[in-house]
Amino acid sequence: MEKKKERAVVYKQQQIAAGIYDMWIQTSIALQAKAGQFISVYTQDSSALLPRPISICEVDREHERLRIVYRVVGKGTAEFASYETGHCIDILGTLGNGFPLEEARGKQVILIGGGIGIPPMLALAKELKDATSVKIVVGYRNQELFLAQELSQYGEVYIATEDGSAGTKGTVLDAIASNGVSAQVLFACGPLPMLRAVKGYAEQAKIPAYISLEERMACGVGACLGCVVKTRQKDSHSHVNNARICTDGPVYLASEVEIG
Amino acid sequence: MNTQITIAGVSFKNPVMTASGTFGSGMEYAEFVDLNTLGAVVTKGVANVPWEGNPTPRVQETYGGMLNAIGLQNPGVDVLIERDIPFLKQFDTRIIVNVCGRTQADYVEVVEKLADQPVDMLEINVSCPNVKHGGIAFGQDPKCLYDITKEIKKKARQPIIMKLSPNVTDIAEMARAAEAAGSDALSLINTLTGMKIDIYKRCFALANKTGGLSGPAIKPIAVRMVYQVSTAVKIPIIGMGGIANAQDAIEFLMAGATGVAVGAMNFVNPYTTVEVVKGIEEYMEQQKIANITDIIGCVR
């Protein structure tokens, strides 16, 4: 699949929770986008050089639009949050390989999203037509349950909140335990401590877990070797068990990666 | 209009190259850039054996630049010979292999393995700030630099380019040492050692604590050093450090560089190299410059 840098246009944007923004982008890159892939978004501030890798939340191929839902964490994302309809936005994509949808075929599936790891789960949930059942476990800081309503169209949603203001108090693993949710395969995206816990849970349950990783990256296309993760197998580039998250991932079988 | 340049007997269709470590071995950017349009592709540093590199985070953005501490992760020279050189041979561009090592013997082993390869030049990385042993240790002491240059020059079948570190008191002294030992050309600058601290986590932003600063933020330093070195030695210079467009590249040429390399900006705009090639041609046409060599070192 071809990667390209394109000047796209903001179709619409709204804030959906504290610090969380929901942006639709008009771009031909949508035609090739898959769940679990990401795009790199450039700032217009020339002091902030590197593009920001942001996961794809939804793909509308018919209208050639991509949706990203992101958290404002620094000056780059703060700039993106100020964009209004019609604003030009430079993006590079599509990057990464996406989720292996074939692994969900004929299986009971749990999707697990934590915080800003929830958005890619929406794109994935929409694509899981061949799964026997889809359960969605999402973890939030508080009762600002962004995307939960939309996710419920695609499967039963179980909620965990750090402050206990909605659903199970605690983590996504606590929500899985307290609701007695089980499955034959897991897909997860979220903060590293959550992914470690998911990896441990999958090992115990003896089921495969596909986890989407993130890391500081520069190029996004596999050249800089910035965003690596330790792998059990030799990686395709350097053969030193350090795979590039941007090009070999970002989704890995949890048992294949060492995430501490 | 003639954009051709010659370095140590090797001719290049234009002076625009890629800076080592920012372009892989060309494969990753071939989707964006027609490699045939470039003067040369300079590969990511390669050692005698595969190197794992440093822990993550390995990169951080800084104001107008970036810090990296990749630690020279590379697959080793055997994979380069088997996979990357044949890939690059498909294109009409010069191939420069960047060589790294922990000991003098490591460098020599790589250079010897490359002896019969279709490689045009070797760039010797004695200036990487991110590896604990070797690397920069050879590039910060004129005597060490002289010795390793002499040793490599004895074994190398291709002309060699010693890549100099800016993390020294007097880069001209280093340049003279490399020239005296027989280096055919010089490239500069490698990255400047820097640091970033995460004030919320109260820790270093890079796992390696320090990293190499690159990008537009370092360009004035690089231009100054290229000028300084060009007045100190007679061998040709490949200039680099924050080149983002043709204007930047022309500054380096006027400061005394025969070739120029695009580094960190490849990460920002994957089309930078071709834009620089095109921009130089436009500038030459506009300024009625017949030969690019007419402007090399023209500011004195």
pTM, to two decimals: 0.95
Q: In one letter, which amino acid is B46?
A: V
Average pLDDT over residues B258-285: 98
Rg of the Cα atoms in chain A: 18
Q: Which residues pair with B147 in a beta bridge?
A: none
B window 210-269, beta carbon within 8 A of A: 215-216, 264-269
The whole-number pLDDT of residue A1 equals: 60
The whole-number pLDDT of residue A183 equals: 95
- E-state strands within B102-196: 121-125, 160-163, 185-188, 192-195
* pLDDT tens readout for residues B173-228: 999 999 999 999 999 999 999 999 999 999 999 999 999 999 999 999 999 999 99
* pLDDT tens readout for residues A149-168: 999 999 999 999 999 999 99
The whole-number pLDDT of residue B137 equals: 73
The whole-number pLDDT of residue B149 equals: 96
* pLDDT tens readout for residues A192-213: 999 999 999 999 999 999 999 9
Q: Which residues in chain B have Cβ-Cβ distances shorter than 8 Å to A238?
A: 50-53, 73-75, 79
Q: Which of A70, A79, A71 is nearest to A45 (CA)?
A: A79
- DSSP assignments along B74-124, one per residue: B--HHHIIIIIHHHHHTSSSEEEEEE--SSHHHHHHHHHHTTTSS-SEEEE
The whole-number pLDDT of residue B127 equals: 78
Beta carbons within 8 Å of B229's beta carbon, 6+ residues apart: B164, B171, B172, B175, B186, B188, B237, B256
Q: Do A219 and B70 touch (CB under 8 A)?
A: no
B2 vs chain A: nearest CA distance in angstroms? 31
Rounded Cα–Cα distance for residues B96 and A108 (Å): 52
Rounded Cα–Cα distance for residues B198 and B26 (Å): 33
Of A91-105, A111-125, B122-136, least confident by mean pLDDT is: B122-136
A vs B: CB pairs below 8 A: 114
The whole-number pLDDT of residue B129 equals: 67
Q: Which residues pair with A236 in a beta bridge?
A: none
Rounded Cα–Cα distance for residues A22 and A70 (Å): 7
Q: Do A224 and B216 touch (CB under 8 A)?
A: no
B window 131-160, beta carbon within 8 A of A: none
Average pLDDT over residues A121-143: 97
Reply yes or no on whether the pLDDT at A81 is more than 80: yes
**Cα pseudo-dihedral B80, B83, B85, B89, rounded to 10:** -170
The whole-number pLDDT of residue B135 equals: 62
Confidence of residue B130 (pLDDT cuts 50, 70, 90): low
* pLDDT tens readout for residues A200-253: 999 999 999 999 999 999 999 999 999 999 999 999 999 999 999 999 999 999
Which has the higher per-residue pLDDT, B130 or B289? B289
Rounded Cα–Cα distance for residues B249 and A87 (Å): 31
The whole-number pLDDT of residue B139 equals: 86
Peptide bond into A250 cis (omega under 30): yes
Rounded Cα–Cα distance for residues A64 and A50 (Å): 25
Please count the other Cβ atoms lying within 10 Å of the Cβ belonging to residue B153.
Answer: 18
Task: For residue A85, give both structure tokens.
Answer: 């309809």
Average pLDDT over residues A174-194: 97
* pLDDT tens readout for residues B54-80: 999 999 999 999 999 999 999 999 999
The sign one gets for the Cα dihedral A110, A114, A115, A119 is negative
Q: Phi/psi of residue A91, each to 5°? A: -135, 155
Beta carbons within 8 Å of A207's beta carbon, 6+ residues apart: A183, A184, A185, A186
Q: Which of A150, A202, A149, A130 is nearest to A172 (CA)?
A: A202
Decide if B22 contacts B269 (C-beta within 8 A).
no
How would you class B23 by CB atoms within 10 Å of its CB: exposed for 0-12, middle for 13-18, buried for 19 or more? buried
Q: Do A242 and B53 touch (CB under 8 A)?
A: yes
State the complex-level ipTM: 0.93
Decide if B162 contacts B124 (C-beta within 8 A).
yes
The whole-number pLDDT of residue B87 equals: 98
3-class secondary structure, A7? strand
* pLDDT tens readout for residues B214-267: 999 999 999 999 999 999 999 999 999 999 999 999 999 999 999 999 999 999
The whole-number pLDDT of residue B133 equals: 60
The sign one gets for the Cα dihedral A221, A121, A160, A135 is negative
